[in-house]
Amino acid sequence: MELSGAEILIKSLEDEGVEYIFGYPGGAVLHIYDALFQQDAVKHILVRHEQGATHAADGYARATGLPGVVLVTSGPGATNAVTGIATAYMDSIPMVVISGQVPSAVIGSDAFQEVDMVGISRPCVKHNFLVKDVNLIAETIKKAFYVASTGRPGPVVVDIPKDITDPRIKVPYKYPKKVHIRSYNPAVSGHKGQIKKAVDLMLSAERPIIYSGGGVVLGEASKELTEFSQLLGYPVTNTLMGLGAYPATDKLFVGMLGMHGTYEANMSMHESDLIIAVGARFDDRVTGKLDQFCPYAKIIHIDIDPASISKTVKVDVPIVGEVKPVLEQMIELIKDSKKTPSKKALETWWKQIKDWQSIDCLSYDRESPQIKPQFVIEQLYEVTNGEAFVTSDVGQHQMWAAQYYRFDKPRRWINSGGLGTMGFGLPAAIGVKLAHPKADVACVTGEASIQMCIQELSTALQYKTPIKIVNLNNRYMGMVRQWQEFSYESRYSHSYLDTIPDFVKLAEAYGHVGMRIDKPEEVRPALEKAFAMKDRTVFLDIITDQTENVYPMIESGKAHHDMKLRVTATGTTTDRELA
């Protein structure tokens, strides 16, 4: 079969099993768009901004585990995609981004719409390619998918000069079944000796805690993590990226840890004598002050990326491997072992944890005449039976969604953790809805974040992806305002948007349903009504308490046991001195 470069590219995507490609046309990719037009195996989703394409592909990838695919033109198309590529990179999301490039003959001459995409994207991709020969397109695409989706996943950019896709130049096409890259050999099952050593430590721990992260979601090891944890009966905490990997409603779950983690999760970390880190990367939002991090604990760390191990915190038992096979081996060893965890020690430990839990660090004023954002998330949880896919933007609303929506399944909580990209939520929700057309998809956002990719409301109409936008409208960049309140004596420098649009009218202008809710008793009925409209995108503009802050909070530079807690209505602080 003889095909042009453009046809080879599209056929390769088809043969790779790609369902959707998110893109935006332009000069350098016109040959490719022409080839797209003449087939219908690969469906193209036309976004309104290339950043939207990357986030939508990313949302699709997070919801399915399959690589998201993006197609953009050279120059501004490529640079607009960079934020989304960096977002995927920081959270280890598999993605293949195809960017057009100026014709080979003029590369380097400051040609029209030329940027060095390979150079610009280098620091935020797992790998990138410049295709210099039409005969290499199929193999390069295969390699791109292989690299993006194996080992520690990540985005891969394939930059293709226009002449390589010329419809007049046809060459034989065959999509390789397999590729081998001699310098890239991921997928390891973990060192047996280290696994044994880890299990021995686990069975003699007295105050253990399982700290699991995004690696469990990425490695599809939720079932194994659950079995492993329940076999041991140890408390489990999740990072922001790990939420859902362990069922939040289970009694072993002590909530998220870190800067806005629960009191019990952070105290358990601080007092623990054994941290079992599973697919988590000791991010600074999790560790707090490094030299006071888990002062009494030995640390076991399972991670596929050796560079994640002992990067910031020195670990005692490193295990390089995929979480799934490593946990499977551990489960076997624990089952076969004569030794069992000390019942007495564990009882004392759980008693201590229950004591911390009794502080009820997530309580808030339920009697308030204003709408509390936490209440909205709780209602969202109930109305969707805890089964929705929830995307979010970045800010306070993101933390409240993480704290109050109890995710029992992986891949349901979809947010930008590492880069913290405002504008992520709406396009990501479109990608999720395409992947799961029957599921409820909510985008929890703020009035500042939503405006960063609001244009994608138009995409949502064109492709009939009915999502529910829950805008926690506090008339502030709340997260920024909170930091200014705590650290800058309430000097709210530029964290207030003076002219917030009428979101109801805006939603209607885009062809959707808009609702404005400003009383607590309206929240539940509005959510019910919105989710009952199965085929409509609904924008719920919910006017929330402007002064609300996210608690608990470990301010930067502080240790885990040094949390700022909510001051309750009676004026007494729940903060207390701990021995």
Whether the CB-CB separation of 436 and 63 falls below 8 Å is answered with: yes
CA distance 413 to 405: 9
Q: Which residues are CB-neighbours of 41 under 8 A, at least 6 positions away?
A: 14
Q: Where are the beta strands (DSSP E) in 112-169?
A: 127-130, 155-161
Contact with ligand FAD (CB under 6 A) among 75, 154, 215, 427? 215
Per CB under 8 A, which region of 114-122, 293-301, 363-371, 488-496 contacts another protein? Answer: 114-122
d(CA 579, CA 576): 10
Other CB atoms within a 10 A radius of the CB of residue 225 amount to: 27
421 touches, from ligand FAD, Mg ion, ligand TPP, none (C-beta below 5 to 8 Å by class): ligand TPP
> How big is the site for ligand TPP, counted in residues (CB under 6 A)?
19
Q: Which of 311, 409, 475, 536 binds another protein (CB under 8 A)?
A: 311
Q: Considering beta carbons, is residue 288 or 446 the nearer one to ligand TPP?
A: 446
Residues of this chain, 465-484, that bind ligand TPP according to CB under 6 A: 472, 474, 476-480
Q: With binding defined as CB under 6 A, does residue 270 bind ligand FAD?
A: no
Residue numbers 126-165 binding another protein by CB under 8 A: 126-128, 130, 147
Kindly state the tokens that stand for 339: 């030794």
Could you tell which of ligand FAD, another protein, Mg ion, none binds residue 311, using a CB distance below 5 to 8 A set by kind?
another protein
Catalytic-role residue among 126, 162, 324, 433: 162
Distance from first CA to last CA of the chain, Å, rounded? Answer: 75
- Judged by CB under 8 A, does residue 122 bind another protein? yes
> How many whole angstroms separate alpha carbon 281 and alpha carbon 269?
15
CB 207 within 8 A of CB 273: yes
Q: Is 162 labeled as catalytic in the residue annotation?
A: yes
Residue 449 interacting partner from ligand TPP, ligand FAD, another protein, none (CB closer than 5 to 8 Å by kind): ligand TPP
Q: Which of 19, 46, 184, 531 binds another protein (CB under 8 A)?
A: 184
Choose among Mg ion, ligand TPP, ligand FAD, none what residue 7 binds, the Cβ cut-off being 5 to 8 Å by kind.
Answer: none
Would you count residue 288 as binding ligand FAD (CB under 6 A)? Answer: no
Fill in the amino acid letter for 370: Q
Secondary structure element (H or E) that encloses residue 4, with its range: strand 2-4
Q: Which of 19, 113, 352, 522 is catalytic?
A: 113
Looking at residue 551, the DSSP 8-state letter turns out to be S
Tokens of 1: 């079969």
Catalytic hit among 95, 330, 479, 563: 479
CA dist., res. 159 & res. 77, Å (int):
12
Distance CA 233, CA 230 (A): 5
- ω into 552 cis (within 30 of 0): yes
422 binds ligand TPP (CB under 6 A): yes
CA–CA–CA angle 208, 92, 259 (5° rounding): 50
Under the binding rule (CB under 5 A), the answer on residue 478 touching Mg ion is yes
Choose the stretch contacting another protein; rule: CB under 8 A; options: 53-61, 177-185, 210-218, 394-402: 177-185
Instruction: Note the residues at the interface with another protein (CB under 8 A).
Output: 118-119, 122-123, 126-128, 130, 147, 181-184, 305-307, 310-311, 314
Active-site residue set: 50, 112-113, 162, 479
Can you give the binding site for Mg ion, defined by CB under 5 A?
A: 446-447, 474, 476, 478
